[in-house]
A and B are shown apart, each in its own frame.
Chain A
């Protein structure tokens, strides 16, 4: 076919026009998607329910938590600080914070300080950081929530952290501390497992895997499996998990412990939580003090429930300590009262 300049020029121009229209269409599509994120429809629902107190409370909400990290949780959880909505049956993102906890905490404490999750992200599942259940710093739910209380508050059953307290006992009873110390640069016994002071940033699922099937996370691990130990003992497993999740430093800065004790209600923690009696708000025992005291108790009492026998001819050598280094719980079930020498 002969080349006809005019017709060909028109055809080329038409192709260019169509391509330009396609590009414009794509950009319009992108704009529509960019301006209709999921949190906007959540806010529209909120408005439709007649709950929006004023227009200013809508739009992208940003705050800063104790660690200085931006969080945008209240863009969807719009009624968290509106206790007057408490009595109504509302969908989850629109419910006010339950209980008295918001009032009892300083206003600088952010959602993620207690609940975990990725505060900068918006929308499920990114914000709750559980796309695969393996994210570090995931949103903590149910009993796992107690782990976050223990980041700032000293563990005490009276403060609503019973699982952290009994989990700490399990940590000692099972002999975890033999390999995994809780001290800076500390080295345990046996094959020197890593220290666990910052373990709490792991997801509950990764921690559970490490207990039940240690080589699944780390193929070279020589850690024994605790599958048999926790067989049929979901409560004990949860206790230990919550304790492990609680391991971490409290946030620094404005909400740090020092600032809290000096600035919150104008009184140091010890005014309410220590000293004679101490029952007013629950007695605090520092995590380290608690662990040290319990370790001493458990050291002998586990095999010798009554009186501790005097040192024998072996110079006080106890086989359980000398040979097994006290790691009885690795093999003997936690709840078995018949464990003997």
Chain B
């Protein structure tokens, strides 16, 4: 065949060959052997999944798709963030002006800001729920490394959200970051040093803006990508879904699982884009370091710490978060039970005691807060380092650990009950913190704050 003939033939076959290179392997898979492993090596999606999965993996109710949702939202954040970087200038003089440009003059600028904001809030929620799902189903079992990697991802996500909060450089972000950074004052020994490291001084200023920017766009995303790669690699090596061992894997991952995941991912993006198209991200007034906002409130995901610090600095700022973090890190080593893996809150006996203690925690929380807020409204200063709602909830969590463990004769029941009580406390303090008005006075959501701010 002539040169020209060969070229024409190659061009004719180009679309078909290109498609064959790109598609993930549509034909029925051969039963193993060279061909199957060749496809496996070539197809990226089949590196995330095995060739065949269990039927259980297709059910949306097992994982609720939370890990996938988190990853999708991170993708949305990376894309919108990269575009925002084109216009954003991380200098104290230009930062707020560039935000105004984005919000008002750049095509789709306001949309990008809103996507970034909604995806960030969404990712914080899904990453938290993902942690709860894995905990509740005991899916950390035999996956100690991946559990710790997941905690690292949670910390990195919080760091990204927090560093991003400062970048608009408006009154809201300035005072929220100021009050959050001041929480570090309550950390013994390291606190002052950490604060100086992150802020580049003793207060939020130009150095802090540049540091937060570097962390937000380079250091933390790189860290998150690295941890995420390890997380997914371990997930694959650990055998995919927890508690699937022994079940026959008969369903080809392509198309049944991959299409489902793509649908969930697109639906998440659609939800974020709809929200972003309808609701703009707020942009406050340019900062004025001499005019504190009242109340100075941390971002919602840190407001539980701020609320507890208002009772007692050492308990709220160090002891409670420290114990919670320690318990989470030790969880897969404290509980080694295999019974009821993959079921919500484990086998029936464990579930009953864990949920029972969780309910008791809720009652205790309401009682503590009613007593505390009542005393506060009465003008007393009821908080001491020893006796306040935060220490009360720690006490209940300790009781739940021992009580549920003893009564159900199960380490899992002990851990779940204790974590549930701490979760109730965390969400509760978050809610109470959100209800704080000027001078950290409690107002119900339907009550207007004085001053009409």
Contact = CB atoms under 8 A, between A and B. Distances in A.
A12 B251 contact: no
A311 B224 CA distance: 78
Contacts of A136: 285-286, 288, 291
B107 A216 contact: no
Interface in A50-92: 60, 62, 69-70, 72
A13 B374 CA distance: 56
Nearest to B111: A30
A26 B105 contact: no
B260 interface: yes
Interface string B439-453: 100000000000101
Interface stretch (B229-237, B265-273, B338-346): B265-273
Contacts of A135: 285-286
Contacts of B267: 19, 22-23
Contacts of B55: 3
Contacts of A19: 262-267, 270
A33 to B, nearest CB: 5
B42 interface: no
Interface residues of B, number: 44
Given A3-B250, A135-B285, A22 B266 contact: yes
Interface string A1-32: 00101001100110110111011011101110
Interface string B52-69: 000100100000000000
From A27, A60, A62, A217, residue with most partner B Cβ within 10 Å: A27
Interface stretch (A117-125, A254-262, A323-331): A117-125
Contacts of B132: none
Contact of B451 (A8, A12, A216): A216
Given A19-B266, A20-B266, A30-B108, A134 B291 contact: yes
B288 A201 contact: yes
Contacts, number: 122
29 contacts: A3-B251, A5-B252, A12-B256, A13-B255, A19-B266, A19-B267, A20-B266, A22-B267, A22-B270, A23-B269, A23-B273, A26-B270, A29-B274, A30-B276, A33-B111, A33-B278, A34-B108, A34-B111, A69-B97, A118-B286, A120-B104, A123-B104, A126-B104, A126-B283, A127-B104, A132-B285, A135-B286, A136-B285, A202-B291
Closest 5 CB pairs of A and B: A26-B273, A19-B266, A135-B285, A22-B270, A12-B259
Interface of B: 55, 58, 97, 100-101, 103-105, 107-108, 110-111, 250-252, 255-256, 259-260, 262-267, 269-271, 273-274, 276-278, 283-286, 288, 290-292, 439, 451, 453
Given A5-B256, A12-B259, A19-B263, 12 more contacts: A9-B256, A16-B259, A18-B263, A23-B270, A25-B270, A29-B274, A30-B273, A72-B104, A121-B104, A134-B291, A134-B453, A202-B288
Interface of A: 3, 5, 8-9, 12-13, 15-16, 18-20, 22-23, 25-27, 29-31, 33-34, 37, 60, 62, 69-70, 72, 118, 120-123, 126-127, 129, 131-132, 134-137, 194, 201-202, 206, 216-219
